[in-house]
């Protein structure tokens, strides 16, 4: 819009200047024509009243004195040439015999001769100034033939034209500056009005999340295109929410189906030996056997062991499916971690607190569960045949966070399994359901914390728990 305003203003100025020039030229041509007509009428009157024959040779005698009178009356220099372009007489003064004068050019004489109006206007110099000259024939109207050539010089006065152009450009420049200033303001306002709506839409689109509730745009711009874009965005939000709900439901159903398969598999494992044990005991049962009590005790131990296995499976599944409500209390994390480590009998577990107390509000039971699960995993990650076994547990405070690290020198985790470590039912052990890390990750995230790990094969693994310190 600014470019169009600029170009149009420049074009208007150029066209206006050209128009002034054209009007000025037309004005001077008409004025010269009027002067020429007046002078020719005066000279024709002289020709009609002269007693001399109307021939070219008598022109000097006819206008010898009259040419000065006519020049003074019309305030214009007059030159009379013969038909060959030689100067006969002019109004400046009498021509001195033998004086050399400038003759009319042959091409000018030819152009005048070929002109339909028998009149020609051209440029030339006189006394060092540039003039427009009017060339026309002096006619013998009785014989209807030319007897001489009349030349009238006319100097254009462009001062009035230049003043008019300057006044016009001054006024036009003031109007143009005002229009251009208004155009700049209007362009800025319109662009801000349009981009503000687009920025709002862009901001909402950038915040669009597949996992969270998205807000619709409640914006009316009175622009059909932008309103259509807003409508499309709101429709997309509805479709996205519907798709997210379907996906979440599908994922939940899939997860529970997989979990049910895993639980069923873990329960079936102890049922088979239990069945075989009962069948074997039934076939070999003899009340009169002197070792019957010992066999019954062994039989009971076998059943109880398998029942405990199924109970552990059920307990793990229950803990994962339904976490108990948090019972937050103000406690010292350093002491709770030490308390959690006291249940382990391994003498290679070492505890390194960097401070005596870190006070925060947290569920004691859940914190102990996190520590015991991580330490238990660290112990199990060390092969039985390894001689030098180490588990390091450290607690420190950084800014407003508690950092708990559990490090072992076990067999480590393969890099291909890094993305699956916290997945439910994933485990590298031969026993267990692989729910421990998933459970403690859930606990930590409920407190807006984070758990990470670093691991190298055959060198060990370090789990780091970061929990915000809650004072209220």
Task: Per residue of the chain (472 residues), give pLDDT as tens.
Answer: 778 878 888 888 888 888 877 877 777 777 777 888 888 888 888 888 888 888 888 888 888 888 888 888 888 888 888 888 888 888 876 655 555 567 888 888 888 888 887 888 776 655 556 667 888 888 887 788 888 998 888 766 666 677 777 888 888 888 888 888 888 888 888 887 777 777 777 777 777 766 667 777 777 766 777 778 878 888 888 888 888 777 777 776 676 676 666 666 666 666 666 676 777 777 777 777 787 778 777 778 777 776 776 776 666 666 555 555 567 889 999 999 998 898 888 889 999 999 999 999 998 888 988 998 899 889 989 998 999 999 999 999 998 999 999 999 999 988 888 888 887 655 655 455 456 788 788 888 888 899 999 999 989 999 999 999 987 5
Type and span of the H or E element at 223: none
Tell me which residue of 433, 417, 436 sits closest to 425, measured CA to CA: 433
Any idea what the Cα angle at residue 185 is, between residues 180 and 187, rounded to 5°?
90
The label of the residue with tokens 């839409």 reads: 201
371-to-187, 342, 368 alpha-carbon distances in Å: 64, 11, 5
247-to-114, 137, 255, 363, 403 alpha-carbon distances in Å: 97, 104, 12, 33, 35
Q: What domains does the chain contain, in order, with CATH numbers? A: 2-161 (3.30.450.20), 224-321 (no CATH), 328-468 (3.30.565.10)
CA dihedral 276, 279, 284, 289 (to 10 degrees): 90
Sign, CA dihedral 431-435-441-444, equals negative
**What's the CA gap between 346 and 337, in Å, rounded?**
16
Q: Is 46 exposed, middle or buried (0-12, 13-18, 19+ CB in 10 A)?
A: middle
Which pLDDT value is given to residue 118? Answer: 80
């Amino acid at each position: 819009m600014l470019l169009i305003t600029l170009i149009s203003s420049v074009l208007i100025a150029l066209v206006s200047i050209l128009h002034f020039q054209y009007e000025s030229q037309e004005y001077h041509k008409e004025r010269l024509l009027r002067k020429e007509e007046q002078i020719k009428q005066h000279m024709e009157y002289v020709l009609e009243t002269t007693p001399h024959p109307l021939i070219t040779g008598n022109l000097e005698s006819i206008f010898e004195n009259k040419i000065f009178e006519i020049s003074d009356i019309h305030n214009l220099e007059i030159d009379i040439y013969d038909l060959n372009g030689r100067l006969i007489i002019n109004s400046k003064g009498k021509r001195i015999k033998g004086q050399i004068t400038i003759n009319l050019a042959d091409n000018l004489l030819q152009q005048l001769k070929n002109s339909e109006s028998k009149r020609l206007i051209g440029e030339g110099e006189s006394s060092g100034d540039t003039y427009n000259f009017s060339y026309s024939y002096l006619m013998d109207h009785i014989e209807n033939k030319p007897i001489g050539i009349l030349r009238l010089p006319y100097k254009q006065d462009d001062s009035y034209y230049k003043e008019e152009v300057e006044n016009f450009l001054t006024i036009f420049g003031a109007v143009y500056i005002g229009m251009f200033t208004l155009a700049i303001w209007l362009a800025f306002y319109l662009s801000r009005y349009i981009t503000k709506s687009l920025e709002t839409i862009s901001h909402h689109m950038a915040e669009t999340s597949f996992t969270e509730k998205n807000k619709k745009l409640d914006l009316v711009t009175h622009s059909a295109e932008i309103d259509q874009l807003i409508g499309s965005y709101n429709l997309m939000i509805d479709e996205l929410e519907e798709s997210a709900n379907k996906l979440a439901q599908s994922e939940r159903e899939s997860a529970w189906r997989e979990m049910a398969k895993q639980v069923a598999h873990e329960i079936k494992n102890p049922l088979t030996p239990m069945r075989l044990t009962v069948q074997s005991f039934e076939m070999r049962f003899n009340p009169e056997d002197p070792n019957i009590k010992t066999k019954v005790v062994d039989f009971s131990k076998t059943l109880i062991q398998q029942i405990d296995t199924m109970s552990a499976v059920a307990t793990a599944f229950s803990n994962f499916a339904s976490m108990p409500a948090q019972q937050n209390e103000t406690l010292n994390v350093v002491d709770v971690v030490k308390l959690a480590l006291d249940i382990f009998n391994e003498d290679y577990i070492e505890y390194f607190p960097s401070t005596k107390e870190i006070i925060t509000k947290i569920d004691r039971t859940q914190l102990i569960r996190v520590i015991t699960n991580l330490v238990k995993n660290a112990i199990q990650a060390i092969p039985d045949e390894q001689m030098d076994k180490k588990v390091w547990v450290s607690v420190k405070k950084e800014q407003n966070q508690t950092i708990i690290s559990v490090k072992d020198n076990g067999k480590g985790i393969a890099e291909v399994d890094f993305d699956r470590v916290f997945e439910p039912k994933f485990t590298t052990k031969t026993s267990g359901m692989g729910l421990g890390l998933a459970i403690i990750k859930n606990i930590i995230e409920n407190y807006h914390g984070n758990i990470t790990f670093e691991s190298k094969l055959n060198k060990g693994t370090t789990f780091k728990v970061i929990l915000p310190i809650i004072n209220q």
